[in-house]
Amino acid sequence: MNTDLASTSPAAFDAAVHATERLSKNRPIGNDGSLMTQQQPGEAGDATTPDLSIVVPAMNEEDSLKTLHKRVNEVCKANQKSVEIIFIDDGSTDATWNRMCELASDDSDRTQLTRAIRFRRNFGKAAALSAGFSVARGDIVLTMDADLQDDPNEIPRFIEAIQGTNRNQNTDNHPNGKKLDVVSGWKRVRHDPWHKVLPSRVFNAMVSKLTGVKLHDHNCGFKAYRRKVLQEVDLYGERHRFIPVLAAARGWRVGEIEVLHHPREHGVSKYGVSRIGKGFLDLMSIYLVTGYGRRPLHLIGSAGLVCFALGTAGMFYLSARWVISRIGEGEPLHLHATAIFYYCILAVLLGAQCVLAGLIAELIVSASAARDRSLRWLQVFNHGANASADPALPPASYSVSAVSGFQPNSGPANTIDESAPGESDS
């Protein structure tokens, strides 16, 4: 049975997001999708915050979800960890969403919850992870793929690395045994074809060299984070593979552990050759954002000063030759007939424009920082004055058509829009 959350827009999904943030404070959502200020009789919300949230993006992985769900729950139960599994259906065309709804409908064990979010179409892994992060409630958030290549038995080791009890993690600037904020998996032995392994190793070496975050496998989707880290990282495009770099740029401790990697049992890989080119472009973007995101004048202005200095020096040189050629004997120098004269003019103009662009970028960054400070103050003030007032959710780079597992008494699946693209009437 499907229950409509709203007849319009992603407001219903926003309500689900707010609901998960308030569940630990006994703040369930009502049948109309709005937050309830008090617990209503007969509608007991889940007031237990899980120890662990596991975000699993999936596209056309109907054959592996049930097995993955079972293995994850078995591992967490054996280690006495409460867990919520958050599946993201990123535009699947098979029965992936139906499998997710079946798994989310089983709430017999409140220490092992399953939730699911469905996108209207394929928005990419970064968008799927962003949606999962926005509703995750555990203090530790793990990400893993749905293809069974990531081994759930590694989950306790990720938790130990976060908590500082794992003596075998590798960190760049922090000794073993230190608590980490981000833990990345390292698939030392990969069961993938060579045309995926070789470019990946070259890419990982370049990322480590340019960013200073020395991980062996930046591409590995098996990672663990403190939830506070994810609140400071914006995901879009293909940025998901650079979360450790973005976190390290903000001062969080980053490390890695070796993990087992299994051959794919079902389905096919969703990544092709185009991923290589996109990865290098994203690396350039991350390098600029992490290195010069708050000081763009240092990059653009420096290039402008170099161009301006070279152009000016060339102009002085040509001017000196022009004067000397007219004082002495011989044919006088005609600047308009000299190609380097135009190159010098171009360099001076380009340098001046770069410096001006850098100054404008600095003004934009300064205004944005001031606005962020004022908004944070306003949000803190509103929370203190009225606990039921939540800050507005940021604009999302994805569109959700349905959610499952977020309302205890609303059925197995909650449809945001009855006419979701890709759905059949059967």
Q: Is residue 385 part of a domain?
A: no
For residues 334 and 262, membership in a common domain is answered with no
For residues 288 and 179, membership in a common domain is answered with yes
* pLDDT the model gives residue 410: 47
Beta-carbon contacts of 107 under 8 Å, excluding residues fewer than 6 positions away, are 113, 405, 408
**Which domain does 212 fall in, by range?**
2-293+397-415
Beta-carbon contacts of 277 under 8 Å, excluding residues fewer than 6 positions away, are none
Return the amino acid letter for 300: I
Q: Is residue 283 part of a domain?
A: yes
| H or E stretch at 75 | helix 65-78
For residues 28 and 105, membership in a common domain is answered with yes
For residues 307 and 323, membership in a common domain is answered with yes
| H or E stretch at 3 | strand 2-4
Residue 394's CB: how many other CB atoms inside 10 A? 9
Task: State phi, psi for 148 to the nearest 5 degrees.
Answer: 70, 10
Q: Is residue 148 part of a domain?
A: yes
Beta-carbon contacts of 367 under 8 Å, excluding residues fewer than 6 positions away, are none
* pLDDT the model gives residue 331: 81
Domains of the chain: total = 2
Task: State phi, psi for 315 to the nearest 5 degrees.
Answer: -65, -40
For residues 151 and 225, membership in a common domain is answered with yes
Beta-carbon contacts of 181 under 8 Å, excluding residues fewer than 6 positions away, are 162, 225, 226, 228, 229, 247, 252, 253, 254
For residues 324 and 215, membership in a common domain is answered with no
* pLDDT the model gives residue 389: 42
Q: Is residue 302 part of a domain?
A: yes
| CB 422 within 8 Å of CB 402 | no
DSSP string, 253-269: -EEEEE--B----SS--
Task: State phi, psi for 360 to the nearest 5 degrees.
Answer: -65, -40
For residues 341 and 408, membership in a common domain is answered with no
3-state secondary structure of 282: helix
For residues 202 and 109, membership in a common domain is answered with yes
Whose tokens are 């759930």? That residue is 152
For residues 142 and 207, membership in a common domain is answered with yes
* pLDDT the model gives residue 43: 36
Q: Is residue 375 part of a domain?
A: no
Q: Is residue 424 part of a domain?
A: no
CATH number at residue 205: 3.90.550.10
Task: State phi, psi for 16 to the nearest 5 degrees.
Answer: -65, -40
For residues 270 and 358, membership in a common domain is answered with no
* pLDDT the model gives residue 88: 95
Q: Is residue 86 part of a domain?
A: yes
For residues 278 and 311, membership in a common domain is answered with no
Q: Is residue 422 part of a domain?
A: no
* pLDDT the model gives residue 176: 52
* pLDDT the model gives residue 345: 93
pLDDT tens per residue across all 426 residues of the chain: 343 343 334 454 554 555 444 444 444 444 443 334 333 333 334 447 899 999 999 999 888 899 999 999 999 999 999 999 999 999 999 999 999 999 998 877 778 899 999 999 998 888 899 999 989 999 999 999 988 889 999 999 999 999 887 555 554 444 455 789 999 999 887 766 666 777 778 888 888 888 888 898 888 889 999 999 998 887 777 788 889 998 988 889 999 999 988 777 766 665 555 666 777 777 788 888 777 877 888 888 899 999 999 999 999 999 888 888 888 777 888 888 888 899 999 999 999 999 999 899 888 877 766 655 555 544 555 555 444 444 444 455 567 878 887 765 445 566 655 444 444 443
Angle between helices 296-327 and 339-385 (to 10 degrees): 160
For residues 84 and 189, membership in a common domain is answered with yes
* pLDDT the model gives residue 160: 93
